[in-house]
Amino acid sequence: MNVVVCVESGPISRATEAALELAGGLGGPTEIVALCATDGPEPELRLTRQMRLSRLVVVREPRFAACDPYVMGQLLACAANHLHASMVVLGSRSDVYGSGMTGAVVAKFLEWPLVSRVESMRLDAAWPTAIISDVRTGGRHARIQIPLPNILTTAPRAPAGGRRRIGTLVAPPATEYLAIETLGMSHELLHSIRNPSTEIESFADKVITAVSAADLMEKLMRIPPP
Amino acid sequence: MANLLVNIDLRAGLPTTSSIFALQAARSVASQLGATVVSMVITGPVALPDLERLARILGESGADRALVCADPLFSRPPFWSDQGRVLRLVTDTLRPRLVFLPAGTASAQLGPPLAVLLGATLVPHASCEISLSNDGEPRLHIARRTPRWDGIESTDALATIRPIVAILKAGRPELVSPGAIEAELELLPMPATTLPAIDVLSSREDAFDAALGAQNLFLLTTDLEVSRLNEMAAMPEGTAIIRNTPDAPASNLDVACPEKLFVLSEQSLPNPPPVVVAARGNIALCGPRKPPGTRFTGVYLRNDLSSPDKLIQDLAAIATGKIER
């Protein structure tokens, strides 16, 4: 079974790390393929032995930066098909837009079921064409069985006790490159669909540390109004 | 903008705090722009008196219409493969330009595929505000923090090409006067689906659910006694306290999306602490600039836990905004 984990260009997010860890822990005859579509640097993977990554595939295209989630999702869906994926795993908001739509777009194009923010995954021993996962939804913490093929997204993992546990690091596999033409996707689709009515206002965050409520309020009051 | 759709999340047959907050936000927008607020409830079987009570609550909170699809299938936790079929039916009919989803784990499941179904832009952790342009035209700003956490991204929902699906931040609903007109109740049939079913093998109450909808959220990374936690839970409405445990991991903070986040630790953690870094991109620590129309503050409060009584006093003071000098 081929499991495709979508990874970002450059440093990967905690959610993507969680995706790689969960995919690596699936067990059985699984091949884990990291897939990255980018116009920028290659993914910086900090792989542990548990991640069991077999291949790293990069689709390089200079126009990606201008794409929107619908185009990126369709491209990842085409690439997942090309890689004969039975399952696609993504960080829940690991795309550059940070909205969490890419997984849903992939699911729509492949017509596979989507479950967001899974916390675990393992192959169902009794029914090897399904995945068992834990997920929170609607006030319930549920254990579910999701038929294959499917799309799963993972939430960022917070390290318990404030320290991140890192296993022995291993080198990533050699990068393979996929040309966009091999995916059966037209270049026209890569035209940007930017939203002209979106404005971005920049600011810098500042963390406040206080030792008591009074201390905190005093420091908060020193912040100038917007 | 003819129809503004609000999906309602229920607990024990009643709308969650976040759902009421989303409904009130929708009412405010609809009243200024002349739209109809349609609330959508997808639930397990409901008795008629409970349905009427629900319609009254939704009406009091701002809904003009209450669409209800009740089926035994929806007694289980919500997933797109189940609830999506109803949302598809409703959106095919209403063609909404704006959909509000309440903060919560159900919206994390339903929001992204609903946005794709509508060909919409998805805005998580959204706040909304109406302003007037220089020529007097209304502008509906749907705002959120940028993914890199270095700014505010604001979309004018009235000018954008695509519809918008906004998962709103948590907030405290305003008190409503009982006895207002109840929402017009409509029962929907159960549509068929083509998606393969997801089987729920087991489920239990989500320990993190208490944090959803809280305006003030205190995250403890300490081993404070449970009795003390219970004492803290008696703090003002809109306040929730959770501990960073495997059962309620801090990685879910971005779904809770409170207005104010306080991280309490007796240790000297890196600044900012890793539990907050995990949520970064979704929750602010503390910034001098805030999204329009919101009070969005988070603080890392290092407290001396050797005197828990003082801590509880401090927390209550922060939650109420009353500090005695």
Q: Is the pLDDT of residue B279 over 50?
A: no
Ranking A1-10, A107-116, B164-173, B215-224 by mean pLDDT, the lowest is B215-224
Alpha helical stretches, state H, chain B: 17-33, 48-60, 80-94, 105-118, 226-233, 253-256, 274-279, 308-320
Which residues 144-163 on chain B approach chain A with CB closer than 8 angstroms?
146-147, 149-156, 159-162
Summarize pLDDT for B159-199 with one digit per residue, the tens.
888 899 999 987 778 877 666 678 899 999 988 877 778 99
pLDDT band for position A13 (cuts 50, 70, 90): confident
**A141 vs B206: CB contact, 8 Å cut-off?**
yes
- Optimal mutation site among A8, A203, A219, interface B, most CBs of chain B within 10 A: A203
User: Residue A183: what pLDDT?
Assistant: 85
Ranking A209-218, B57-66, B302-311 by mean pLDDT, the lowest is B302-311
Q: For B252, which of A136, A146, A213 is closest by C-beta distance?
A: A136
DSSP per-residue string spanning A33-78: EEEEEESSPPEE--EEGGG-EEEEEEEE-TTGGG--HHHHHHHHHH
**B123 vs A155: CB contact, 8 Å cut-off?**
no
DSSP per-residue string spanning A130-173: EEEEEEEETTEEEEEEEESSEEEEEPPPPPGGG------EEPPP
pLDDT band for position A211 (cuts 50, 70, 90): low
pLDDT band for position B299 (cuts 50, 70, 90): very low
pTM of the model: 0.84
Paired tokens of A113: 């079921």
- Going by C-alpha positions, the residue among A36, A74, A6, A33 that lies closest to residue A173 is A33
B77 touches chain A (CB under 8 A): yes
A151 touches chain B (CB under 8 A): no
- Going by C-alpha positions, the residue among A208, A211, A161 that lies closest to residue B306 is A211
Which residues 231-260 on chain B approach chain A with CB closer than 8 angstroms?
244, 246-247, 249-252, 254-255
What is the average pLDDT value for chain B, to the nearest integer? 77
Contacts of B62 by beta carbon, 8 Å cutoff, 6+ apart: B23, B24, B26, B27, B28, B30, B37
Q: For B147, which of A97, A137, A156 is closest by C-beta distance?
A: A97
Average pLDDT over residues B239-261: 69
CA dihedral B176, B50, B187, B193 (to 10 degrees): 110
Which residues 23-52 on chain B approach chain A with CB closer than 8 angstroms?
none
pLDDT band for position A135 (cuts 50, 70, 90): very high
pLDDT band for position B220 (cuts 50, 70, 90): low
Q: Which residue has the higher pLDDT, B137 or A33?
A: A33
- Tell me the C-alpha distance between B138 and B253, whole Å: 33
Q: Is the pLDDT of residue A122 over 70?
A: yes
Question: For residue B64, which phi and psi values (nearest 5 degrees)?
Answer: -85, -40
Average pLDDT over residues A73-97: 88
Pairing relationship of beta strands B121-132 and B138-145 according to DSSP bridges: antiparallel
User: Residue A225: what pLDDT?
Assistant: 43
Size of interface A-B (CB pairs under 8 A): 269
Give the nearest chain A residue to B139 (CA atoms).
A197
Q: Is the pLDDT of residue B40 over 50?
A: yes
**A96 vs B147: CB contact, 8 Å cut-off?**
yes
Q: Give CA B267 to chain center in angstroms.
A: 31
Shortest distance, CA A173 to any CA of chain B (angstroms): 27
Residue B241, judged by CB atoms within 10 A of its CB (0-12, 13-18, 19+), counts as buried
Which residues 118-137 on chain A approach chain B with CB closer than 8 angstroms?
119, 132, 135-137
A65 touches chain B (CB under 8 A): no
